[in-house]
Each structure stands twice: as structure tokens, then as C-alpha cells.
Amino acid sequence: SAVISQKPSRDICQRGTSLTIQCQVDSQVTMMFWYRQQPGQSLTLIATANQGSEATYESGFVIDKFPISRPNLTFSTLTVSNMSPEDSSIYLCSVTGGSLSYNEQFFGPGTRLTVL
Amino acid sequence: QKEVEQDPGPLSVPEGAIVSLNCTYSNSAFQYFMWYRQYSRKGPELLMYTYSSGNKEDGRFTAQVDKSSKYISLFIRDSQPSDSATYLCAMSADSSASKIIFGSGTRLSIRP
């Protein structure tokens, strides 16, 4: 398995501001993903973070709103830009591959974001 | 129609009961089926992983897949308060974990 940490664990932000969430893994992984989990909703994939290149975004998510960085095989950031109350959610990173099984995604503990 | 449908619950049962959690899906290309468990304020963790139709047992947990009906189940025997969590079904068309579709999760509470 893997030890995955996310910072911050929670935050309360004002409308119009931006928040950057960090995801750190204790081993090198092939793929890193960012999800949003809203109450009563499925995990929704935002994007796949690609090491050394631009992230691959899912339908309905754009780089200007959710810029992602992945400078190496153990670290990624997701920024939620120009936030509105609709962005209030739990944001999760997950990883797979590398020294880990390719059949399973391993999740971080999540970042609970509230936008006022 | 969502690709994966799951009753959100909440489901509350007494300790020791048999629990049945279910999901239906619409995409016949799904071949790999998973159940994740998510405790409060934690990320999901893989509980069961099965390929195609059939049953798989692991301790008190049994995963069942019926591809002809596009229906999957997770049974928990001798349920314990520590089983209280949200259970998410998940599935994908290939063996890599790169494109997994999740259900919305069923919140389960086991009463002592």
C-alpha cells in the first residue's frame, strides 16, 4: 500500500479566492488523480495529473478553474480558483502504479473545503 | 441515466446481522468490479476486487457479480460496529485502475 497525505485537511475560504491542495505519496507512482466528492454524490474525477506534462481533464472541468501541477512522481497540487460556494466539497487525490498495484487506486484522506 | 446506480441509504442494522449492499450498472463493457469502504473523514480503501461474473469471499465479506443482470452485491456476515462506514461500488472496463466509475455510496451503520 502507500501512505498518502493531503494538505490542508480542511479549509474555509471566501468567495473569489483560490486554494491550493497538496498531495504527497511516500513512493513513486505512475498515475495521480484528483477527485471531487460532494455529499450524496459519487466520486467525480476532475483530472489525471501527468508528470512533466499538462493534466488531462474530464468533461466539465477546465484548466483555468482547476490548474494542476505534478513536478515529480510523488507529488501533485490541485488549485481551486476563483471559488464559489458551489466548489464546497471534499477533494481527494488518488494514486496507482509504479511501486503499487496497477489494479487499485489508493486514496488520500481528502481535503474538506467550505466556500462562504 | 447514471452509469452506476447505488442506493445511498442510510442503512442501519443490529450487530450480527447479514448486510446486503447492491449496485446496478448500464455499461456492459465493465469487467472489473470493486467495493471500497470509506470511514468518516478518511479516503476510500479497496475492500474487494472481482473480475467478471461469480462470487468472491474474503473473511466475512462476499462480493457477487451477475453480469447478465448488470447487478453486483456485497454481503457482510456477522456485522460489527467497526463495519459502520460508507461503501462505494466501483467498476471499470479494463484491469488498470486508470478509469474507474464509482457509485454514490451507501452509508451503513451497525447498532451494538
pLDDT tens sequence for chain B (112 residues): 789 999 888 999 999 999 999 999 999 999 999 999 999 989 999 999 998 888 999 999 999 999 999 999 999 999 999 999 999 999 999 887 788 999 999 999 999 9
CA–CA distance from A87 to each of A19, A32, A100, B6, B14 (Å)? 11, 21, 31, 24, 37
Residue B109, φ and ψ in degrees, nearest 5: -130, 125
Which residues in chain A are contacts of B95 at CB distance < 8 A?
102-103
Compute the CA torsion angle A50, A54, A56, A58 (nearest 10 deg).
130
- Cβ of B96 within 8 Å of Cβ of A4? The answer is no
Residue of A37, A58, A89 to mutate, interface with B, max B Cβ within 10 Å: A37
- Cβ of B104 within 8 Å of Cβ of A41? The answer is yes
Q: What is the residue-averaged pLDDT of chain B?
A: 94
pLDDT band at A102 (very low <50, low <70, confident <90, very high): confident
